[in-house]
Structure 1
Amino acid sequence: MYKLIVCDLDETLLDRDARISKQNEQAIKAFVAQGGHFVPNTGRSFLSIQDDLQQLGLLQQPGQYVISYNGGAIVENAGNQVLTTNPLDFATVKQIYDIARAEQVSGHIYTLENLYVWQPSVAEQQYLEQRGVKHMPVPDDSLDFLRTQPLMKIILQDDDPARREALGKAIPKRVTTPLATTFSSGRYVEFNHVAADKGKATLQLAAKLGVKPDEIMALGDNSNDLAMITAAGLGVSVQNGTDVVKAAADYVTTADHAHSAVAEAIEKFALH
């Protein structure tokens, strides 16, 4: 029996309008009602998904959790209590930022509670606004204002997949700190601390809850979901997942993210 479900948000749980379908909502609530833990496992900030938690009945609930920043933080919903973090150091973030600016690539820097964006395109602004992601501009003069803040991850945005892949290969070779490099949403290459990934955070939370790996279901669509899909007892790719994710998964849904794929998997495998 599955006791813990970890689930990606964008392009997995959320539809094309960045919403949770009624079928997904009902399946998740049924799983939680039978005693399960449903944990959004996202690259985003836990603060940016409070409306989603409210819809699912998980907002401010003790014993329910969010994994944020690709495993960079584990947060209990009650009081948004941060339990663990795996931040990057300032020097590494600045190195990546300087490379990106020199290459004229836009991107995001996530602190524990804020998101700072530089040079977003009109399409990128619309993408963030559709998802209700609050953000602030990076000042043009310096990143020094971030020196004392916990830096969870830095991501670069480019519409060209070949360019994203090239950046993902080149940047880790140009910085001194080992990085965890992943891709997401068909638009981002993401850099985390090497100790942070969705799989490690899933197993860490499962151990806290007394849940065995074979009692975990993980659902995702892109490379930043691979670590949790392979760590879980049942790894699920939604139909719109990348070929690599589908190959790694134990089950591929017949539905895509726009047609309640998460509900399909929960109803098939996790409900009594």
Structure 2
Amino acid sequence: MDLDDTLLDNSLRVREEDRRALERARRAGVVVTLATGRMYRATLPFVEELAIDAPVITYQGALVKHPRTGRVLLHRPVPLALALEIVGRLAARGFHLNVYLDDELYVAGHTPESRLYASISRVEARAVGPLGPFLQKTGRDPTKVLAIAGEEEINRLLAEMQPLYEGRLHVTKSKPRFLEFSHPRADKGHALAAVAACYGLRREEVIAVGDSYNDLEMIDWAGLGVAVANARPEIRARAAFVTASNEDGGVARVVEKFIGAT
């Protein structure tokens, strides 16, 4: 399941009823994991809280890693040439950008946007100056690139960037103000399929719960795709079932209705 606005309430906490429901599901033999756009390190506190013992999907599906063994199931970073193109194009237009490398967050400089992101992810950014020269110096493919701006500006940028990079990058919104650029096969659907394959699970045996545009691929792929009530209308329309909101035990309702673990 997704974290922000799905499992986490509006205070960025796991509600007790959801935590208990997931614990019951685990004890019943259900494989429980997270699928988030967050960094791996920003996901670990919730992994520990929920005692998850399965590969965790992070960075929108670009990195899938088992928190107990440290095994990387898959890592699909953005090709450096494309990352440099995105950074150059958007930095010139004044967008705040995050670049992720080795599970560290890099920004050109600290801004209101970087502070907003830090307040959500609880990860401090490293200010390194212009990101293009920084990436060129590393010579390595970043895990993803994120642009932050106002909601309307992000919507316009999404409409511009998706057709421009179709087939070359996966471009999606994770939050109304966050536009994500990742490897073309780095999405939660591909990542969830990889995790399911580890356990010999067919898609018909998988439930995915989410709220946002970056959850669509896993909602579509899973045998049962679920949206929380606070999801955008277009996300709810794609889901097979709509549960309660993230503030009203939506994940717990899914466990009770479809798993029935006691």
TM over 0.5, yes or no? Answer: yes
**Which residue of the partner structure matches residue 232 of structure 1?**
222
**Which residue of the partner structure matches residue 94 of structure 1?**
84
Q: 1:88, 1:192 within 8 Å by CA — same for their partners in 2? A: yes
Q: 1:95, 1:175 within 8 Å by CA — same for their partners in 2? A: no
**Which residue of the partner structure matches residue 34 of structure 2?**
40
Q: 2:62, 2:76 within 8 Å by CA — same for their partners in 1? A: yes
Please state how far the C-alpha of 1:144 moved relative to its aligned partner: 3.5
**Which residue of the partner structure matches residue 142 of structure 2?**
151
Please give the alpha-carbon distance, in whole angstroms, between the structure 1 residues aligned to 2:21 and 2:166: 45
Please give the alpha-carbon distance, in whole angstroms, between the structure 2 residues aligned to 1:146 and 1:218: 39
Please give the alpha-carbon distance, in whole angstroms, between the structure 2 residues aligned to 1:55 and 1:169: 38
| Matched position secondary structure for 1:80 | coil
**Which residue of the partner structure matches residue 270 of structure 1?**
259
- Which amino acid is 1:94 matched to? L
**Which residue of the partner structure matches residue 3 of structure 1?**
none
For structure 2, the residue ranges without an aligned partner over 5 or more in a row are none
- Which amino acid is 1:264 matched to? R
Q: Confirm or deny that 1:79 pairs with 2:69.
A: yes
**Which residue of the partner structure matches residue 12 of structure 1?**
6
**Which residue of the partner structure matches residue 108 of structure 1?**
98
How many residue pairs align between the two structures?
260
Please give the alpha-carbon distance, in whole angstroms, between the structure 2 residues aligned to 1:181 and 1:188: 11
- Which amino acid is 1:96 matched to? I
Please state how far the C-alpha of 1:86 moved relative to its aligned partner: 1.0
More strand by share: 1
| Matching of residues 1-272 of structure 1 within 5 Å | 7-58=1-52, 61=53, 64-119=54-109, 121-122=111-112, 124-140=114-130, 142-144=133-135, 147-161=138-152, 163-172=153-162, 178-253=168-243, 255-272=244-261
Q: 2:227, 2:241 within 8 Å by CA — same for their partners in 1? A: yes
C-alpha distance 99-219 of structure 1, shift in aligned 2 (>3 A): same
| Matched position secondary structure for 2:33 | strand
Q: 1:158, 1:164 within 8 Å by CA — same for their partners in 2? A: yes
Structure 1 length normalisation: TM-score? 0.88
Please give the alpha-carbon distance, in whole angstroms, between the structure 2 residues aligned to 1:262 and 1:200: 22
Q: 1:213, 1:231 within 8 Å by CA — same for their partners in 2? A: yes
Q: CA RMSD in A?
A: 2.0
Q: 2:55, 2:73 within 8 Å by CA — same for their partners in 1? A: no
Please state how far the C-alpha of 1:117 moved relative to its aligned partner: 2.6
| Matched position secondary structure for 2:107 | strand
Please state how far the C-alpha of 1:175 moved relative to its aligned partner: 5.8
| Matched position secondary structure for 2:94 | coil
Please state how far the C-alpha of 1:130 moved relative to its aligned partner: 4.1
Aligned residues: percent identity?
A: 28
Please give the alpha-carbon distance, in whole angstroms, between the structure 2 residues aligned to 1:223 and 1:146: 33
C-alpha distance 119-259 of structure 1, shift in aligned 2 (>3 A): farther
